[in-house]
Amino acid sequence: MEINLFNDANLVPQPKHKVKIEELRAAPYPDRFRVKVNLKLTPFQERPNLLITARRLDGRLVSDLDVIATMHFENEFTIHIRGVDDPSGEYTLAAELYYETRDPPQDAAQISFVIQQDAY
83 found inside a domain = yes
7 found inside a domain = no
Q: What local confidence, expressed as pLDDT, does residue 118 receive?
A: 81
pTM of the predicted protein model = 0.88
The CATH number that applies at residue 72 is 2.60.40.2550
Range of the domain at 67: 20-115
Residue-wise pLDDT for 42-92, tens only, equals 999 999 999 999 999 999 999 999 999 999 999 999 999 999 999 999 999
12 found inside a domain = no
38 found inside a domain = yes
28 found inside a domain = yes
Q: Kindly indicate the confidence band of residue 11, based on its pLDDT and cuts at 50, 70 and 90.
A: confident
The residue among 79, 71, 69 whose CA lies nearest residue 24 is 79
Query: At residue 106, does pLDDT exceed 90?
Result: yes
Query: At residue 16, does pLDDT exceed 70?
Result: yes
The total of structural domains in the chain comes to: 1
